[in-house]
Amino acid sequence: MVKKSLIVLPFLSGVLILGVVLAASLGAVVVPFDQVARLLLSRLPGVDISPTWSEGMEAIILQIRLPRVAAALVVGFALAAAGVIFQGLLRNPMADPYIIGTSGGAALGATVALLLPLQVVWYGFTLVPLAAFVGALVAVLVVYNLARVGPRTPVTTLLLAGFAVSSMLAAVMSFLMMLSGTGLRRIILWTMGGLGGGRWEQLMIITPLILLGMGWSYLYAGDLNALALGEEQAAYVGVPVERRKLTLLILGSLLTAAAVSVSGLVGFVGLVIPHVARLILGPDHRLLLPAAALLGGLFLVLSDLLARLLLAPAELPVGVITALVGAPFFIYLLRRSKREYGF
Amino acid sequence: MSEGRYILEAREVDFSYYDGLVIKSVSLGLKKGDIVGLIGPNGSGKTTLLRLLSGFLPPKSGSVRLSGRDLGQMSRRDIARLIAVVPQELEMLFSFSVWEMVMMGRTPHAPRLWGAGRRDREVVERVMERVGIQHLAQRPFQELSGGERQKVIVAMALAQEPDVLLLDEPTVHLDINHQVEVLELLRRLNRESGLTVLATMHDLNLAALYFDDLVLLNQGEIVSQGTPEEVLQEANILRVFEASVEIQKHPTLGVPHMVILPPPR
């Protein structure tokens, strides 16, 4: 029996590369697919391809489209991986990367930053992504500490504390929005999410963080499988449950915080892509975690492409596309599966 | 008593959840190759004692020792290589296949990064054959019947290659044929592989049939322990369970067999 992952992961990676090239080639100026592929290949170390493209094309691809495509890619990776982690950890099919306060914290952080009359730029980061990143992590820490009962952090209290803190943060945010005047539109756009803000300098920091977070989580794929047995039984097969919960919570929140700092609150990817991957590939986290990440990257790259193209030159919020295209596909998968989907 | 005489030993263990002791100064030792049934009424502390012996709950005072080492000082991974636990119920998330589930028993042995190796697969195949569930390998666990599920969970526990197997009511929701099947399996594992077994049991007659020794627990205290003949006495049953019974002899095996005497009508 050939291992499923040896077929699935290379296949998904291949499709993903095609998707990236496609997304880079389409736009207001269409650069032919093969030209984009050659241009990208020429950038790889040790590859010598003489340019057959104009400098203008190169600038469009490398400076405008590719940062955006790359942002979609890593945000998709991070949100889907975080979704897999939170669903497995919290044993809840409605869990997504935002469920324990990250979104509320990030949104409030971003709102405050958008309203402050400050112009700070630090390694290509403006204040907004920084504040979103920090806000997300602070919110999770607060939730985690509120949810502790003695030496344990029960999943139920974690979910409820997450809900309570998120509600409070949302209330503060509504209040700020009411006072914000002309800033209101920017706040709303940020909360809808978008990838137009992708910049190389920022991605150079966020991408390693996301890849590291994914790699680290992968070490615990086997433990996530065992957690499906319930916390008590997971302990009996050798998982230090509370310690592992904390680690995975931190990793999932870091991935989420990194993603929202780039894109704002892109919804749907982190909730539904893990389910889609599980429906197609089964629940083994050793395959599910990397496969869902690749699928999330692909999905967000293509969604962002549609968001740019459909009403060009105007842009749709990418969250509109992820939900409008993703939800029917997800429903189709749910209906098609012959067995009851055993979450 | 000498250190290391027991493979698993509770020494004067107290435990309470909030207030009021649930387990009161319990001392209990299992020697290698023992097969012991833990009996007692609902709420007598059977499951709690099992959780203390498996290190899931830390004792309030006293200690639990595994081959002379304090469980509280050991990592979950180290404990899981020596003690496996079969719970009364398992609420399984996601539709893992039987094969994948039994493989989870290899968690304390498997290296993090590479997952299952050849030896892990061999062990999984061997225990599935032993338990008689090879034909279920690709079926989702969630679709199995109660008896099949119980066997899968036992196989998962055996895949840990433990020295001690603890079971919480292994026969409770099963039809009589599956009850016998599971208990025969435990006895075979005990006799053939020297596996040390401790199981809480609801059905006293089954307990007498399949276990060499019984421990009777009442309100968190051990009130009697020894062979089934010693423990299953009419006075004990009346005192602890408040039920009138007559102890007879099992027709073929000669172990005690209880017949219930209902109050006069």
User: Distance (Å) from the C-alpha of residue B194 to the closest C-alpha of chain A?
Assistant: 21
Domain count, chain A: 1
Chain B environment of A229 (Cβ under 8 Å): 90, 92-93, 101, 104
User: Distance (Å) from the C-alpha of residue B104 to the closest C-alpha of chain A?
Assistant: 6
User: Nearest residue of B to residue A280 by CA position?
Assistant: B95
Q: Does B110 touch chain A (CB under 8 A)?
A: yes
**A209 lies in a domain?**
yes
Q: Is the ipTM of this complex over 0.90?
A: yes
**Are B90 and A237 an interchain contact pair (Cβ–Cβ within 8 Å)?**
no
Residue B143 in this model has a pLDDT that exceeds 80: yes
For residue A98, the one-letter residue type is: Y
**A57 lies in a domain?**
yes
**Are B91 and A230 an interchain contact pair (Cβ–Cβ within 8 Å)?**
yes
User: Distance (Å) from the C-alpha of residue A342 to the closest C-alpha of chain B?
Assistant: 5
pLDDT in tens, B185-203: 999 999 999 999 999 999 9
Residue B1 in this model has a pLDDT that exceeds 60: no
Interface probe, candidates A149, A220, A229, chain B, greatest B C-beta count within 10 A: A229
**Are B96 and A237 an interchain contact pair (Cβ–Cβ within 8 Å)?**
no
Q: Tell me, what's the pLDDT at B15?
A: 94
Q: Does B144 touch chain A (CB under 8 A)?
A: no
Chain A environment of B105 (Cβ under 8 Å): 237
For domain B1-82+162-228, which architecture applies?
Answer: 3-Layer(aba) Sandwich (3.40)
Q: Tell me, what's the pLDDT at A31?
A: 87
Which one, of A260, A137, A136, lies nearest residue A193 by Cα?
A260
Q: Is there a contact between A262 and A318 (Cβ–Cβ < 8 Å)? A: no
pLDDT in tens, B109-141: 987 666 678 899 999 999 999 999 999 999 999
- pLDDT band of residue A338 (cuts 50, 70, 90) is low
Nearest to A219 among B91, B113, B157 (CB): B113
- Percent of all residues in chain A with a pLDDT value above 90, rounded to a whole number: 58
> Structural domain of residue A296, as residue ranges?
4-336
C-beta contacts of A8-17 below 8 A and 24+ residues apart: A8/A281, A8/A287, A8/A291, A9/A287, A9/A290, A9/A291, A9/A294, A12/A291, A12/A294, A12/A295, A12/A298, A13/A294, A15/A298, A16/A73, A16/A294, A16/A297, A16/A298, A16/A301
Q: Tell me, what's the pLDDT at B2?
A: 43
Q: Tell me, what's the pLDDT at A211?
A: 97
Lowest-confidence pick of A123-127, A187-191, B170-174, B251-255 = A123-127
What average pLDDT does this structure show over A130-140? 93
pLDDT in tens, A31-53: 888 888 988 888 888 777 887 88
Selected residue with higher pLDDT from A20 and A119: A20
Residue ranges of chain B that CATH labels 3.40.50.300: 1-82+162-228
**A342 lies in a domain?**
no
- Give the Cα separation of A17 and A14 in Å (integer): 5
What average pLDDT does this structure show over B76-94? 93
Chain A environment of B75 (Cβ under 8 Å): 240
DSSP A227-258: HTT-HHHHHHTT--HHHHHHHHHHHHHHHHHH
**A28 lies in a domain?**
yes
What average pLDDT does this structure show over A189-196? 87
Q: Tell me, what's the pLDDT at B60?
A: 93
Q: How many beta-carbon pairs below 8 A join chains A and B?
A: 92
Nearest to B76 among A222, A229, A239 (CB): A239
Residue B211 in this model has a pLDDT that exceeds 50: yes
How wide is the angle at C-alpha B44 spanned by C-alphas B43 and B46, nearest 5°?
95
- Give the Cα separation of B159 and B131 in Å (integer): 11
Q: What contacts B82, CB < 8 A, 6 or more positions away?
A: B66, B67, B162, B163, B164
Q: Tell me, what's the pLDDT at B205?
A: 94
Nearest to A236 among B80, B140, B143 (CB): B80
For chain B, give the mean pLDDT: 92
Q: What is the 3-state secondary structure (H, E, C) of A163-230?
A: HHHHHHHHHHHHHHHHHCHHHHHHHHHHHHCCCCCCCHHHHHHHHHHHHHHHHHHHCCHHHHHHHCCC
Which one, of B110, B119, B156, lies nearest residue B137 by Cα?
B156
Half-sphere exposure in the Cβ direction for A116 (13 Å, CA): 13
Residue A125 in this model has a pLDDT that exceeds 80: no
Nearest to B107 among A91, A219, A237 (CB): A237
Lowest-confidence pick of A11-20, A78-87, A195-204, A233-242 = A195-204
Q: Does A189 touch chain B (CB under 8 A)?
A: no
Q: Tell me, what's the pLDDT at A1?
A: 44
Give me the CATH number covering residue A315.
1.10.3470.10
Chain A environment of B54 (Cβ under 8 Å): 236
pLDDT in tens, B158-188: 999 999 999 999 998 889 999 999 999 999 9
- pLDDT band of residue A27 (cuts 50, 70, 90) is confident
pLDDT in tens, B33-77: 999 999 999 989 999 999 999 999 999 999 999 998 999 999 999
Q: Does B229 touch chain A (CB under 8 A)?
A: no
Q: What contacts B27, CB < 8 A, 6 or more positions away?
A: B9, B10, B11, B12, B13, B62, B222
- Give the Cα separation of A90 and B223 in Å (integer): 41
* Alpha-carbon distances of A5 from A116, B134, B208, rounded to whole Å: 48, 24, 49
Nearest to B142 among A88, A227, A342 (CB): A342
- Give the Cα separation of A323 and B238 in Å (integer): 66
Q: Tell me, what's the pLDDT at A258?
A: 93
Nearest to A343 among B87, B93, B108 (CB): B93
Q: Tell me, what's the pLDDT at A123?
A: 66
Selected residue with higher pLDDT from B242 and A343: B242
**Are B80 and A278 an interchain contact pair (Cβ–Cβ within 8 Å)?**
no
Nearest to A222 among B84, B91, B110 (CB): B110
Q: Tell me, what's the pLDDT at A231?
A: 93
**Are A229 and B104 an interchain contact pair (Cβ–Cβ within 8 Å)?**
yes
Q: Does A3 touch chain B (CB under 8 A)?
A: no
Q: Is there a contact between B52 and B10 (Cβ–Cβ < 8 Å)? A: yes
Q: Does B77 touch chain A (CB under 8 A)?
A: yes
Chain A environment of B104 (Cβ under 8 Å): 225-226, 229, 237
Nearest to B104 among A91, A225, A341 (CB): A225
**Are B56 and A223 an interchain contact pair (Cβ–Cβ within 8 Å)?**
no
